[in-house]
């Protein structure tokens, strides 16, 4: 048998096997697995970009809402009252305490990391969002960060922190509800403690008038210059109960 004939024979065998598997699955009441959802976003022309308010970036006053991690389908719930603490249940459970001034600027006062059993406090409060962020505009905030044990209040470490917020323009996002024009906000947070460094980078996709609807995050922790922990996640907001489930 020639090499070409052999390849054709193997191809026919593979096709028959796939067909047989589908038929068997149908006969026993199973269905072939559906294609999984993949979050995608592509840039749009500059005339689609609009300024965002701090309230839109932070999602002020939104009711408790469900988010879903794209890769695993795990649920994550955010409870965010008008002003005050935002509780996150799911991946990296935490409580963030915010404040807002009369101009509409947002600040982060402290974060309780439940899994790490620690509290991070910022002095002065770390700027999170300006009253308005125009396309292409960059906001930078700096603060001293003090980390204590959550239960005893004993000091763990401290050092400077820096947060940068940038309006990245308009994007066409493939949400579970369909293609949607959103605004991209790029975030970078760095803290340098006594012996450790933490870097958090995220892309926040904000729907004007609604708030964040998707997010990509990446986290890196170094201790004495060595990578200790690294992770990345994608989340989509469950709008109208249509977020992907696995």
Give the pLDDT confidence of 160-190 residue by residue, as tens digits. Answer: 999 999 999 999 999 888 899 999 999 999 9
pLDDT of residue 21: 46
pTM reported for the whole predicted model: 0.79
Residue 23: CB partners within 8 Å, gap ≥ 6? none
Is the pLDDT assigned to residue 53 strictly greater than 70? yes
Residue showing tokens 């986290």: 219
Is the pLDDT assigned to residue 139 strictly greater than 70? yes
Cis preceding-peptide flag for 98 (omega within 30 of 0):
no
Give the pLDDT confidence of 12-32 residue by residue, as tens digits. Answer: 444 445 444 444 444 445 554
pLDDT of residue 89: 54
Contact 68, 194 (CB under 8 A): no
pLDDT of residue 96: 86
C-beta atoms surrounding 20 within 10 Å? 10
Q: What is the mean pLDDT of residues 136-152?
A: 96
Give the pLDDT confidence of 107-123 residue by residue, as tens digits. Answer: 999 999 888 899 999 99
For residue 3, what pLDDT band results from cuts at 50, 70 and 90? very low
Residue of 65, 45, 63 whose CA lies nearest to 215: 65
3-class DSSP state for residue 18? helix
Is the pLDDT assigned to residue 143 strictly greater than 90? yes
* Angstrom distance (rounded) from CA 5 to CA 18: 20
Residue showing tokens 């305490």: 97
pLDDT of residue 64: 60
Give the pLDDT confidence of 69-104 residue by residue, as tens digits. Answer: 888 877 777 665 455 556 565 556 788 888 889 999
Give the pLDDT confidence of 211-241 residue by residue, as tens digits. Answer: 899 999 999 999 888 888 899 999 888 766 5
């Amino acid at each position: 048998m020639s090499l070409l004939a052999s390849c054709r024979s193997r191809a026919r065998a593979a096709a028959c096997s796939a067909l047989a598997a589908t038929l068997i699955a149908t006969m026993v009441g199973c269905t072939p697995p559906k294609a999984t959802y993949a979050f995608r976003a592509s840039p749009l022309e500059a005339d689609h970009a609009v300024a965002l308010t701090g309230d839109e970036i932070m999602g002020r006053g939104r009711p408790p809402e469900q988010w879903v991690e794209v890769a695993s389908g795990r649920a994550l719930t955010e409870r965010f009252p008008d002003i005050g603490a935002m509780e996150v249940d799911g991946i990296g459970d935490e409580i963030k305490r915010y404040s807002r001034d009369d101009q509409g600027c947002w600040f982060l006062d402290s974060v309780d990391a439940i899994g790490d059993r620690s509290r991070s406090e910022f002095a002065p409060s770390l700027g999170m969002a300006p009253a308005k962020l125009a396309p292409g505009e960059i906001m930078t905030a700096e603060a001293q960060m003090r980390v204590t044990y959550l239960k005893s209040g004993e000091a763990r470490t401290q050092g400077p922190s820096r947060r940068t917020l940038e309006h990245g323009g308009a994007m066409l996002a493939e949400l579970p509800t369909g293609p949607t024009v959103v605004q991209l906000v790029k975030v970078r947070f760095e803290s340098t403690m006594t012996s450790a460094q933490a870097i958090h980078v995220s892309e926040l996709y904000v729907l004007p008038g609604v708030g964040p609807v998707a997010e990509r995050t990446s986290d890196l922790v170094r201790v004495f210059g060595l990578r200790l922990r690294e992770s990345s996640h994608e989340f989509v907001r469950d709008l109208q109960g249509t977020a992907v489930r696995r």
